[in-house]
Structure 1
Amino acid sequence: MTTLKAKLHDDLNTAIRGRDELRSSTLRLTLTAITKEEVAGTEKRELSDDEVQKVIAREAKKRREAADAFAQGGRPEQSAREKAEGEVLAAYLPQPLSDEELNAIVAGAVEEARAGGAEGPRAMGAVMKIVNPKVAGRAEGGRVAAAVKKLLAG
């Protein structure tokens, strides 16, 4: 078992013993999503820590989107619960990049792409190929794309 998955199991057991309903239900759902990912495809496999982290990030994103949807739908209690679940999952993810850090990484990638001959808005793909591995799991794709477009346009 990977170390991150083992930590999730240990934390789930602690939450159950402490009768922390929010934390235990969130971790159960996340472990279920990890198990589904492991058995998807033709044969069962063990996920690496990076793959487990991607599943956790996907689950956290679902919680954020659901919280927004509930807030727009006039259900603040459900929205608050989804936000709380997202905060539980955020503890297992790497610290997100600040805007300044993201802009610095994107600026370096734009210079690198320009050195490779890519210019203007058409360089978007080349820049994204350079940036994505550097920010993997620490910034959402839409936020990264917006920063790249901003720097390429201006």
Structure 2
Amino acid sequence: MSKDMRAKINDALKEAMKAKDSARLGTLRLINAAIKDQDIALRADGKTVGDPEILAILGKMVKQRQESARAYEEGGRLELAEREQDEIKVISDFLPAQLSEAETEAAIDAAIADTGATSIRDMGKVMGELKGKYTGQLDFGSVGPIVKDKLAS
């Protein structure tokens, strides 16, 4: 049985503490804080955060840091942009590898076939199928337009 995401993150946190790696430690603490925030939000419904939700949180954190790094670069704050890039590397350690373009196309085609989607009205079903299987492996912002094009034709 493989370790769950929480255990992996906590193990990495302990290693960073032992190694006195303050930059990595800070990022790992941010990850834990984001997971705990989500735990608290779901507690009212009697739910807990599982691996799919953690992957979604990590993906969101990466996207936020990419946007921040871009803004810092445009503003000439290269040291801050570099710090954001370092955080992205730490967070990405816990994300599965991104699918290649060909793999993404194949995943979209399979999701369309699996859901029996025939028109743009079925886009929600296809995206739901993709999110269920490929959370953390696909950038759904770029996948959406591809799905839309395939369903429109």
Identify the TM-score tier after normalising by the shorter chain: 0.7 to 0.9
1:36-115 matches, within 5 Å, as 36-41=37-42, 42=44, 46-111=48-113
Q: Tell me the CA shift for residue 148 of structure 1.
A: 1.5
The percentage of counterpart residues that share the same residue type is 33
Alpha-carbon spacing, 1:147–1:5, altered in 2? closer, same or farther (3 Å): same
Alpha-carbon spacing, 1:40–1:73, altered in 2? closer, same or farther (3 Å): same
TM-score by length of 1: 0.81
Larger Rg: 1
Name the SS for the 1:40 alignment partner. Answer: helix
Tell me, yes or no, if the aligned pair for 1:67 and 1:80 is still in contact at 8 Å: yes
Question: Partner residue of 1:13?
Answer: 14
2:6 maps to amino acid: K
After superposition, the C-alpha distances for 1:49-95 in whole angstroms (9 at most, x for unaligned) are 22222222222222122111211222111111101101111010111
Count of aligned pairs:
150
Name the SS for the 2:97 alignment partner. Answer: coil
Q: Which runs of 4+ in 1 moved over 6 A?
A: none
The runs of 5 or more residues in structure 1 that have no matched partner are none
- Aligned Cα RMSD in Å? 2.5
1:141 maps to amino acid: F
The runs of 5 or more residues in structure 2 that have no matched partner are none
Name the SS for the 1:65 alignment partner. Answer: helix
Q: Tell me the CA shift for residue 20 of structure 1.
A: 0.9
Tell me, yes or no, if the aligned pair for 2:55 and 2:135 is still in contact at 8 Å: no
Q: Tell me the CA shift for residue 122 of structure 1.
A: 4.9
Tell me, yes or no, if the aligned pair for 1:38 and 1:44 is still in contact at 8 Å: no
